[in-house]
Amino acid sequence: MSNSNQFDAIVIGSGIGGLTVAALLSKLNKKKVLILEQHFVIGGFTHEFKRIHKFKWDVGLHYVGNMEKGEIGRAVFDYITDGKLQWHKMPESFEKFVYPDFTFEEFADPQKYKADLIQRFPKEKQAIERYFFELKTIAITANLPTFLNPLLKLIFPSLGKIHRQTTKEYFDQNFLDVKLKALLASQWGTYGLPPSKSSFATHAMVIYSFLTGGWYPVGGASEIAKHIMPVIERNGGKALTKSQVTEIIIDKGIAKGVKVQKFHVSQAPVEEYYAPIIISDAGAFNTYTKLIPENDLIADYREEIKSFPKGSSAITLYLGFKESPEKLGFRGENHWIYTSYEHDKAFQEQKAKPDQVINSCYLSFASLKDPTATAHTAQAIIFVDYDFFSQWHKQSWKKREETYYDLKEKITQNILNFVESRYPGFKELIEYKELSTPVTLEYFNQSDRGAIYGIPAIPERLGKKWSNPKTPIKNLYLTGTDVMSLGIMGAMMGGVKTVGILKGSFGFFNIMSKCIQESSKAEKTADVVDCDSEALLQSADRIISESSNRELTHR
Ligand SMILES: Cc1cc2nc3c(=O)[nH]c(=O)nc-3n(C[C@H](O)[C@H](O)[C@H](O)COP(=O)(O)OP(=O)(O)OC[C@H]3O[C@@H](n4cnc5c(N)ncnc54)[C@H](O)[C@@H]3O)c2cc1C
């Protein structure tokens, strides 16, 4: 074995989860980390692509929450990028929920958002207040170590029940007005499942993270990997692209290395790399069903994960504009456009027949969120069934049958007509358009059935053994979205969780403390000085004591 094939740790996949692990191991433990990425660019869903030398788009980042200076997400991002990545805050009114008879704006201020909801639905004041409190409780307690669970159950007995509820169950139990229920579920696309399917706990974590607004990386999503790589390279680490891990080498139940082949080249020679720690960011499904060879230790994990429901997939319409969409009044906020209050029904109808039914759409204007953008762009996203496209999944990108491209053109026109019906003049702005489908995502990202958020965020996912960073194979760990929560923030915190486990007891808290301390040092402003290394534990303390009071008054 040559020295060039030996590393301190190997990370499979360069998504934000994998990059976070590699950066933390490099920065905290001086580890030399090898990242192996099957795509020809690094970043996973944070990568970007360009067309006609003019337009560029991110694939899986439209906004990130929890990024106000002093917030935990920001502290971790600053730590792994040496504070060099800049973030642009979206407009104060950063969400527009567009329904047939009204449009509701969410402002980047939880108190205002709450007050606006109460003003519109005064009869539901108490339930709205409880909802905001429960969002916070769930979001903060989610990061507490599991040994605190008995204590949490004692002081907040309903927490366990809430964790097992769907979003719809929670809403039906707490709210009366159908419009309010629909409104509060307007951002369901941020976790990929409508109310009757999604876990309320995931809803709470994701929605809570956006209460202070949305942020976008200055320069685009690919700036994330660009700013993390120097931290990894500082200790001799590197990332290899077009390097698909085909197998994790396991000897007597211990992971020792990986076998690698060039991207989509079946005849390419197999290379081997070795390390005492192997971490997979390739998704729990891929890792257990494709990368770990037949092994009794994981047989039941494999069977369970194979039969677990699949994550949602989506279509993205990438648009390049001739002129600024500000012409039509857009300012960089998100638009969630719906034709009814029944999210579940609409989801079912549209995902099965996107060539016939477009009844909802998420619209994002990346160029208006990025002060350095040189050309104007937008993305329109709709959720669809993978099965609608599965017949083309074995065909290569750009070499699929004509029927596939005809279908894409039809869906493109349907989406454009849908948006045009809401915002007349929209189609006039377009210079370039390109549609990606679930098979595009599957081809480029290897995600199971083109899932955009990994394993689906349904209540049954809670506590599954295969969604844990630790695996039954010694020295093999998982990271990314499947071990924590979904989205950029969830996957990054998945990276912290994995390294936390590698570092032993209180590893997660020690890393968080370190990030918060560094962030406080860097930011000498009064706001941030407030946020000392104890911030996380203090907010946990606060939430626990508030919980016990509320439990008594509301339940
Ligand atoms: C269309 C879309 C829109 C989204 N919008 C947002 C948003 O606005 N905000 C937000 O927070 N989140 C959003 N997300 C979700 C977010 O992008 C993901 O949850 C997050 O990036 C997942 O990070 P990860 O590290 O877990 O995995 P990924 O980013 O999926 O990375 C996994 C990596 O592993 C690589 N890989 C897989 N198998 C192998 C192998 N065998 N060998 C080598 N490499 C391998 C893949 O190529 C990939 O690079 C969106 C996702 C999509 C698709």
Residues 447, 486 share a domain:
no
Q: Which residues contact 445 (CB under 8 A, 6 or more apart)?
A: 39, 44, 45
Residues 518, 495 share a domain:
yes
| Domains identified in the chain, total number | 3
Sign of the alpha-carbon dihedral angle for 42, 43, 49, 54: negative
pLDDT for position 192: 96
Mean pLDDT confidence for 331-348 = 97
pLDDT for position 1: 58
pLDDT for position 423: 97
Q: Do the domain assignments include residue 150? A: yes
Residues 58, 19 share a domain:
yes
pLDDT for position 549: 42
pLDDT range class, residue 533, cuts 50, 70, 90: very low
Which atom from ligand 1 is nearest to the alpha carbon of 62? Answer: 8
Calculate the average pLDDT of the chain.
91
CA of 316 to the centre of ligand 1 (A): 15
Residues lining ligand 1, judged by CB closer than 6 Å? 12-18, 36-39, 44-46, 59-64, 244-245, 281-282, 286, 314, 316, 381, 441, 445-447, 452-453, 480-481, 486-489, 491
What is the separation, in whole angstroms, between the first and last Cα of the chain? 63
User: Which one of 20, 45, 440 would you pick to mutate in the ligand 1 pocket, going by the greatest count of ligand atoms within 8 A of its CB?
Assistant: 45
Query: Is residue 150 predicted with pLDDT exceeding 80?
Result: no
pLDDT range class, residue 359, cuts 50, 70, 90: very high
What residues make up the domain containing 333?
A: 312-452
Query: Is residue 546 predicted with pLDDT exceeding 50?
Result: no
pLDDT range class, residue 141, cuts 50, 70, 90: confident
Query: Is residue 525 predicted with pLDDT exceeding 70?
Result: no
CA of 45 to the centre of ligand 1 (A): 4
Q: Whose CA is nearest to atom 6 of ligand 1?
A: 61
pLDDT range class, residue 532, cuts 50, 70, 90: very low
Q: How many CB atoms lie within 10 A of CB 50?
A: 11
Query: Is residue 301 predicted with pLDDT exceeding 90?
Result: yes
CATH number of the domain at 237, please: 3.50.50.60
What is the percentage of the chain residues whose pLDDT exceeds 70?
A: 92
CA separation for the pair 518, 532 (Å, rounded): 9
Least confident of 298-307, 321-330, 524-533: 524-533
The C-alpha angle 163, 166, 170, rounded to 5 degrees, equals 85
Residues 448, 417 share a domain:
yes
Q: Left, alpha or beta for 23 (phi > 0: left; psi -120 to 50: alpha)?
A: alpha
Query: Is residue 378 predicted with pLDDT exceeding 50?
Result: yes
CA of 236 to the centre of ligand 1 (A): 25
CATH number of the domain at 376, please: 3.90.660
Residues 395, 300 share a domain:
no
Which of 399, 418, 452 terminates a domain? The answer is: 452
pLDDT for position 524: 59
Q: Do the domain assignments include residue 204? A: yes
Query: Is residue 4 predicted with pLDDT exceeding 70?
Result: yes
Give the residue with greater pLDDT, 302 vs 396.
302
Mean pLDDT confidence for 254-278 = 91
Q: Whose CA is nearest to atom 1 of ligand 1?
A: 60
pLDDT range class, residue 521, cuts 50, 70, 90: confident
Q: Do the domain assignments include residue 238? A: yes
Q: Whose CA is nearest to atom 48 of ligand 1?
A: 44
Residues 406, 322 share a domain:
yes
CA separation for the pair 143, 150 (Å, rounded): 15
Instruction: Show the tokens assigned to 108.
Output: 């980047």
CA of 338 to the centre of ligand 1 (A): 26
Mean pLDDT confidence for 234-256 = 97
Which atom from ligand 1 is nearest to the alpha carbon of 490? Answer: 19
Residues 139, 120 share a domain:
yes
Q: Do the domain assignments include residue 39? A: yes
Residues 39, 72 share a domain:
yes
Q: Do the domain assignments include residue 262? A: yes
pLDDT range class, residue 159, cuts 50, 70, 90: confident
Query: Is residue 298 predicted with pLDDT exceeding 80?
Result: yes
CA separation for the pair 515, 511 (Å, rounded): 6
pLDDT range class, residue 554, cuts 50, 70, 90: very low
Mean pLDDT confidence for 54-74 = 95
Q: Do the domain assignments include residue 327? A: yes
Q: Are 255 and 475 in contact (CB under 8 A)?
A: yes
Residues 410, 334 share a domain:
yes
pLDDT range class, residue 530, cuts 50, 70, 90: very low
Residues 264, 384 share a domain:
no
User: How far out from the chain centre does Cα 15 lie?
Assistant: 10
Amino acid (one-letter) located at 256: K
Q: Do the domain assignments include residue 258? A: yes
Q: Do the domain assignments include residue 532? A: no
Residues 485, 398 share a domain:
no
Query: Is residue 123 predicted with pLDDT exceeding 90?
Result: yes
CA separation for the pair 511, 503 (Å, rounded): 9
Q: Are 363 and 335 in contact (CB under 8 A)?
A: yes
CA of 46 to the centre of ligand 1 (A): 7
Amino acid (one-letter) located at 346: A
Query: Is residue 86 predicted with pLDDT exceeding 90?
Result: yes
Query: Is residue 267 predicted with pLDDT exceeding 90?
Result: no
pLDDT for position 143: 67
Q: Which residues contact 427 (CB under 8 A, 6 or more apart)?
A: 416, 419, 420
Residues 303, 328 share a domain:
no
CA of 15 to the centre of ligand 1 (A): 5
Which atom from ligand 1 is nearest to the alpha carbon of 246? Answer: 41
Mean pLDDT confidence for 465-491 = 96
